[in-house]
């Protein structure tokens, strides 16, 4: 260390380069090890791209003929009769159930998950934070069929009074309208999904919150911030991109969750009147496909279900893209 200039080795922090993160550099030596490892890494990267493309192509390939024969509007119809010479099917009900239940799950899981993560990293005494973190991770390891069983057999009864209350007090609002269905409502599925994705949100948020540089936290504290103000000015802004990624990962899981939803959901009979109520039953993309897996006997039928799967694929794709954009836009402010 030079005591003359006041400059220490700590000053020599490398600054991030502005070039493309994918761009190679001049460090490659052309030796066998370098080429071998470089080749393997490139291959792995290429494989992922190829897989996504192939899955997309497969879905399109199978779905297009079925869509071409469809006599109902695919995007706006509720019908689903895929057998016979005049197949009529549409996804609006599946889309609504999937999106609505997942959004409910997000609305519940993200605030709670962020709260749990903040508790573990900022508030809990040290002897408690480790076991609490492990416990949350354990929750992530519970198989989804267990959630399904527990949801139907035990949790169902606990949620019913809440549903009744909301329907009686807020029934004038279309989303909470009375339906008479008591069982696997969208609302209930949303709650079970929230519990399933809670550990994802918590675990990832905890990780980023724990990485908040001490310098940022002390900067806030030295200004006379209370603990909550310190969290608001340094921990939350630092963790924001991580929380967004965590939420999107969780949303992806919620959108695609199959077993638990299939188990719980109250399938609507074809003639059932439609409503926007969250207390309606309905099926998600995944549960409809799973419920009818036995029917995949003709390319026509299979194609219809694959078309539904394609929409789910695009949906998760869009969700991820939005998350990317949100994170990118904040990038200038996160160094």
Smallest separation (angstroms) from other proteins to the CB of 97:
37
Smallest separation (angstroms) from other proteins to the CB of 231:
12
Residue 4 engages other proteins in binding (rule: CB under 8 A): yes
**Distance (Å, whole) CA 212 – CA 219:** 12
Residue 332 engages other proteins in binding (rule: CB under 8 A): yes
CB nearer to other proteins: give 31 or 331: 331
Smallest separation (angstroms) from other proteins to the CB of 10:
6
Smallest separation (angstroms) from other proteins to the CB of 89:
47
Number of CB atoms found within 10 A of residue 315's CB: 19
CB nearer to other proteins: give 8 or 168: 8
The string over 262-284, giving b where at least 16 C-beta atoms fall within 10 Å of a residue's C-beta and e elsewhere, is bbbbbebeeebeeeebbbbbbbb
Please check whether residue 80 is in contact with residue 165, taking contact to mean a CB–CB distance below 8 angstroms.
no
Site for other proteins in 244-283 (CB under 8 A): none
Site for other proteins in 105-134 (CB under 8 A): 126
Q: Which of 26, 29, 68, 333 binds other proteins (CB under 8 A)?
A: 333
Only one of the segments 28-36, 73-81, 274-282, 327-335 lies at the binding site for other proteins (rule: CB under 8 A); that segment is 327-335
Smallest separation (angstroms) from other proteins to the CB of 239:
10
CB nearer to other proteins: give 83 or 213: 213
DSSP annotation of 89:
E
**Encoding tokens for residue 286?**
């995944």
Residue in 293, 310, 312, 311 with CA at minimum distance from that of residue 302: 293
Residue 26 engages other proteins in binding (rule: CB under 8 A): no
The alpha carbon of residue 229 and the mean position of all alpha carbons in its chain are separated, in whole angstroms, by: 29
Residue 11 engages other proteins in binding (rule: CB under 8 A): yes
Site for other proteins in 189-248 (CB under 8 A): 213, 215-216, 218-226, 229, 233-234, 237-238, 240
Q: In a 3-state reduction of DSSP, which class is residue 14?
A: coil
Match 């609507």 to its residue by tokens: 268
CB nearer to other proteins: give 13 or 20: 13
First to last CA, the chain: 26
CB nearer to other proteins: give 127 or 172: 127
CB nearer to other proteins: give 153 or 214: 214
Helices 236-256 and 186-210: crossing angle in degrees, nearest 10, is 140
Number of CB atoms found within 10 A of residue 61's CB: 11
Residue 330 engages other proteins in binding (rule: CB under 8 A): yes
CB nearer to other proteins: give 166 or 225: 225
Total residues interacting with other proteins, rule: CB under 8 A:
33
Residue in 242, 244, 221, 241 with CA at minimum distance from that of residue 233: 221
Residue in 306, 312, 303, 315 with CA at minimum distance from that of residue 68: 303
Query: Rounded to 5 degrees, what are φ and ψ at 89?
Result: -150, 145
CB nearer to other proteins: give 73 or 226: 226
Match 């310098």 to its residue by tokens: 215
Smallest separation (angstroms) from other proteins to the CB of 301:
52
List residues near other proteins by CB under 8 A: 1, 3-8, 10-11, 126, 213, 215-216, 218-226, 229, 233-234, 237-238, 240, 330, 332-335
């Amino acid at each position: 260390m030079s005591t003359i200039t006041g400059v220490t080795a700590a000053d020599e922090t490398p600054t991030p380069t502005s070039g493309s993160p994918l761009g190679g550099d001049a460090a490659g030596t052309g030796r066998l090890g370098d080429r071998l490892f470089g080749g393997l890494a490139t291959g792995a990267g290429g494989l992922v791209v190829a897989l996504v493309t192939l899955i997309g192509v497969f879905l399109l390939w199978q779905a297009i003929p079925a869509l071409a024969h469809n006599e109902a509007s695919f995007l706006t119809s509720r019908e689903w009769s895929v057998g016979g010479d005049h197949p009529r099917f549409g996804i609006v009900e599946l889309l609504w159930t999937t999106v609505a239940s997942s959004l409910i799950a997000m609305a519940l899981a993200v605030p709670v998950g962020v709260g749990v993560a903040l508790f573990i990293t900022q508030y809990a005494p040290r002897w408690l934070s480790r076991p609490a973190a492990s416990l949350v991770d354990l929750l992530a390891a519970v198989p989804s069929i267990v959630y399904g069983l527990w949801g139907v057999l035990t949790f169902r009864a606990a949620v019913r009074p809440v549903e009744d209350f909301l329907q009686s007090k807020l029934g004038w609002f279309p989303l909470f309208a009375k339906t008479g269905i008591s069982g696997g409502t969208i609302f209930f599925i949303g709650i079970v999904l929230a519990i399933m994705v809670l550990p994802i949100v918590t675990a990832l948020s905890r990780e980023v919150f724990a990485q908040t540089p001490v310098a940022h936290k002390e900067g806030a504290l030295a200004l006379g911030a209370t603990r909550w103000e310190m969290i608001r000015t340094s921990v939350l802004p630092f963790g924001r991109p991580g929380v967004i990624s965590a939420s999107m990962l969780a949303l992806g899981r919620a959108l695609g969750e199959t077993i638990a939803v299939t188990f719980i959901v109250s399938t609507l009979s074809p003639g059932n009147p439609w409503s926007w109520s969250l207390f309606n039953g309905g099926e998600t993309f995944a549960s409809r496909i799973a419920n009818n897996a036995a029917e995949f006997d003709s390319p026509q039928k299979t194609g219809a279900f694959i078309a539904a799967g394609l929409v789910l694929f695009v949906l998760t794709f869009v969700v991820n893209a939005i998350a990317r954009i949100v994170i990118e836009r904040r990038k200038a402010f996160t160094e």
